[in-house]
């Protein structure tokens, strides 16, 4: 009996690395307008598209910060910071951007009072690549010295206002963010 | 005959403008024609600082690439043209520059044009900001011109504003009959230092992680950086890398070696113990239970 118990425990421990540790690495569901990573039954997930990046969804936006080039979603009661206006990049340099909480949704997409509604989703990535969409800060669909210059302006800054420059989402624009940009350099 | 109004005449009794007015007029003309008298360019200036005087065949000399700017800049890109039939690039030195990140930096074998680009964590404004140092050797006498092409600078304004700098050329003269000279030997006994070194997950491609590093050598400059990685029990082949380098998610150890231009070497190994545990977990488990079983059998025999 003792040995059966021990054997069962051993099997369970053996199987843990393949199932237990990898629970978060489920299938990636994709479409032309979003990427859904790490789908878990409770709804924790990371969803992105050309116009939003939503993370940590648990029925309602989970605690944390989600961002894209056009908005920042502050989930939870810890982020009652000062409102920061959001500017939608049209061409050339984007200027600093941030966001307050979303005020509406559905139908035509997310927008804030006083802001122009976001353009209709075309169903395509803005630059044809998730990497370019995330790392291209100047809006020219290239990752080059212009983007590095913009990123360095926000170097070592923290907070929701610099979320779009924080590629590894650790709430600070630091050296790993520069490294990510240099890795996806297109010239 | 009407007398002309006294107001038509100056104090010297002449209809012509007085000396004061003439002086002012002449000064204004000379002020406009002479740009060096107080007129300052609002554009940054890229220029060289090189050897003075005549050089001989075989001479080695150092040229600094510098920038002056009234506006704060943080990123730079430029190419340098030189006559490859008269001059040969010996080395490029990035020690003590205002750049912390170098994207384009020429490597041996060198050829014209030399392409450079990079940026600094801190913005620069002022005079004589060092961008790079290039060491040349004269291989044929005559006049050689060093010129800039495709020069760009970006303002540190968070918008990536491009500003085209003014450029200045450098003329180097070499003549037969003059003894060749060598630049001052750099006595560098300090190995390069690691400012930053880390393995970070790639936020875009979850199938890999990035080795991110920042290395510096303030005397002779960094020559190259190489990497060796371990996924199981042995080191894989060495390869030269630039920042950052992608490694597989199953890599659990990375050895980074940096050498400077005088041959000093620094080496560091970083570990990802979580990956190692995940890779070796089944083996550890088997060994653990095998040991337990063996110990159990031994105790059983003793009881019998």
pLDDT surpassing 50 at residue A96: no
Domain B45-175: assigned CATH number = 2.60.40.680
Domains B45-175 and B193-271 share a fold: yes
Which of the two residues, B79 and A187, has the higher pLDDT score? B79
CB atoms B204 and A175 under 8 Å: no
Q: Does A21 touch chain B (CB under 8 A)?
A: yes
Site of tokens 């406009």: B32
What ranges make up the beta strands (E) of B204-252?
208-216, 222-230, 239-241, 245-248
Closest CA relative to residue A36, chosen from A18, A52, A19: A52
Write out chain B residues lying below 8 Å of A48, CB-based: none
pLDDT surpassing 70 at residue A130: yes
CB nearest A95 (choices: B158, B244, B285): B158
> CB under 8 Å to B244, separation ≥6 — which residues?
A179, A180, A182, A183, B210, B211, B212, B213
What are the extents of the domains in chain B?
A: 45-175, 193-271
| Cα separation values, B196 from A67, B117, B123, B168, B256, Å | 27, 20, 20, 36, 12
What is the CATH topology of the domain spanning B193-271? Immunoglobulin-like (2.60.40)
For chain A, give the number of residues: 187
Measured from the Cβ of residue B67, the count of other Cβ atoms closer than 10 Å reads 23
pLDDT surpassing 80 at residue A20: no
Strands B253-260 and B222-230: antiparallel
Say yes or no: ipTM exceeds 0.90: no
pLDDT surpassing 60 at residue A139: yes
Site of tokens 């809006």: A139
Closest CA relative to residue A166, chosen from A50, A31, A53: A53
CB atoms B203 and A134 under 8 Å: yes
Listed range (A67-71, A145-149, B257-261) with the worst mean pLDDT? A67-71
CB atoms B196 and A175 under 8 Å: yes
CB B130 within 8 Å of CB B65:
yes
Give me the residues of chain B with pLDDT under 50, please: 1-8, 35-40
Instruction: Provide the chain A residues 38-57 that lie in CB contact (below 8 A) with chain B.
Output: none
The residue of chain A nearest to residue B211, with distances taken between CA atoms, is: A179
Distance CA B66, CA B45 (A): 8
Q: In this predicted structure, what is the pLDDT of residue B22?
A: 79
> CB under 8 Å to A20, separation ≥6 — which residues?
none
To 10 degrees, the CA torsion angle through A74, A77, A79, A81?
120
- H/E run at residue A131: helix A130-135
Write out chain A residues lying below 8 Å of B124, CB-based: none
Average pLDDT, chain A: 63
CB nearest A178 (choices: B101, B157, B202): B101
CB nearest A152 (choices: B119, B198, B243): B119
Distance CA A32, CA A49 (A): 8
Structure tokens at B26: 């002449």
Structure tokens at A128: 């044809």
């Amino acid at each position: 009996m003792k040995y059966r118990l021990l054997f069962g425990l051993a099997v369970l421990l053996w199987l843990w690395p393949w199932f237990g540790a990898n629970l978060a690495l489920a299938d990636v569901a994709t479409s032309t307008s979003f990427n859904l990573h790490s789908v878990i039954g409770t709804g924790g997930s990371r969803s992105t598209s050309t116009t939003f990046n939503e993370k940590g969804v648990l029925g309602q936006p989970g605690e944390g910060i989600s961002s894209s080039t056009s908005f920042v979603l502050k989930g939870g009661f810890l982020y009652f910071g000062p409102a920061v206006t959001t500017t939608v990049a049209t061409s050339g340099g984007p200027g600093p951007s941030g966001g307050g909480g979303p005020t509406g949704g559905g139908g035509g997409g997310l927008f804030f009072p006083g802001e122009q509604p976001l353009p209709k989703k075309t169903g395509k990535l803005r630059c044809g690549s998730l990497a370019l969409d995330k790392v291209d800060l100047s809006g020219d669909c290239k990752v080059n010295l212009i983007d590095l210059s913009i990123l360095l302006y926000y170097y070592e800054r923290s907070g929701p206002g610099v979320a779009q420059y924080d590629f590894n989402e650790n709430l600070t624009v630091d050296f790993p963010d520069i490294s990510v940009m240099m890795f996806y350099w297109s010239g | 005959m009407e007398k002309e109004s006294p107001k038509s005449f100056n104090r010297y009794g002449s209809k012509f403008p007085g000396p004061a007015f003439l002086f002012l007029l002449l000064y204004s003309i000379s002020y406009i024609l002479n740009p060096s008298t107080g007129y300052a360019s609002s554009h940054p200036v890229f220029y060289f600082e090189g050897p003075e005087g005549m050089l001989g065949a075989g001479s080695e000399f150092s040229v600094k690439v510098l920038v002056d700017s009234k506006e704060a800049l943080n990123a730079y890109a430029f190419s340098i043209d030189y006559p490859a039939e008269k001059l040969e690039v010996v080395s490029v030195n990035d020690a003590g520059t205002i750049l912390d990140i170098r994207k384009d930096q020429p490597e041996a074998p060198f050829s014209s044009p030399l392409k450079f680009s990079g940026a600094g964590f801190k913005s620069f404004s002022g005079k004589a900001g060092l961008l790079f140092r290039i060491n040349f050797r004269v291989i044929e006498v005559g006049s050689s011109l060093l010129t800039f092409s495709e020069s760009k600078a970006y303002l540190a304004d968070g918008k990536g504003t491009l500003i085209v700098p003014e450029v200045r050329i450098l003329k180097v003269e070499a003549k037969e009959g003059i003894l060749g000279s060598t630049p001052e030997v750099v006595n560098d006994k300090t190995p390069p230092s690691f400012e930053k070194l880390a393995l970070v997950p790639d936020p875009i491609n979850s199938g890999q992680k990035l080795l991110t590093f920042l290395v510096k050598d303030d005397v002779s400059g960094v020559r190259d950086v190489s990497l060796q990685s371990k996924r199981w029990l042995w080191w894989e082949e060495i390869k030269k890398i630039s920042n950052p380098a992608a490694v597989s998610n199953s890599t659990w150890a990375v050895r980074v070696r940096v050498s400077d231009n005088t041959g000093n070497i620094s080496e560091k190994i970083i570990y990802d113990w979580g990956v190692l545990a995940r890779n070796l977990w089944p083996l550890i488990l088997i060994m653990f239970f095998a040991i337990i079983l063996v110990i159990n059998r031994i105790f059983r025999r003793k009881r019998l």
